[in-house]
Homo-oligomer: A and B are copies of this chain.
Amino acid sequence: MTDELDTVEALAQISFVVQGTLEHRASEHGISLVQTRLLAILRDRKPTMNELALLLGLDKSSTSGLVDRAQRRGLVRRVPSQLDRRSVRVRLTEQGRLLVQVVTSAFADDVAAMLEPLSAEGRAALIGYVSEVLQAHTATHGVQFRTTATRQSGR
């Protein structure tokens, strides 16, 4: 109960630092954290508006507005579905794909630099613990969709 609170503190702080880093990189390229999340989600999906709202954890109306603004910047497109004429699919434009790539790879460099002080073994151990936590959390709570981190080739 006593040292767990210190762990809480550490986890909270690191999460603020990581998020702040991502937000900083995003704003360097003129987009917000949420817009970055949107683009990142779309890297490997062409969801309907409803699906997108679920993935983002937002109301469909909020999602609609988010897509409006991204579309106005030429980052995404609405593609009408021909199966269900009420429905649309949202997808990245080339410009959007390029932008999310630039932002997330700069971010990945930042995080890699942040982990510099650790030894290779330290990094391996850290990722092991974090993965374990994430896996359990994902099992208990909702799906853990990739949000922002760099896309990996292999895997």
Interface residues of chain A, those whose CB is within 8 Å of chain B, are 2-20, 22, 57, 107-108, 111-112, 114-118, 122-127, 129-134, 136-137, 144, 146-150, 152, 154
Contact = CB atoms under 8 A, between A and B. Distances in A.
Contacts of A2: 154
A30 to B, nearest CB: 18
A86 to B, nearest CB: 30
Query: Main SS of chain A's interface residues?
Result: helix
Contacts of A112: 4-5, 7-8
A122 B22 CA distance: 27
B7 A123 contact: yes
Contacts of A16: 15, 19, 147-148
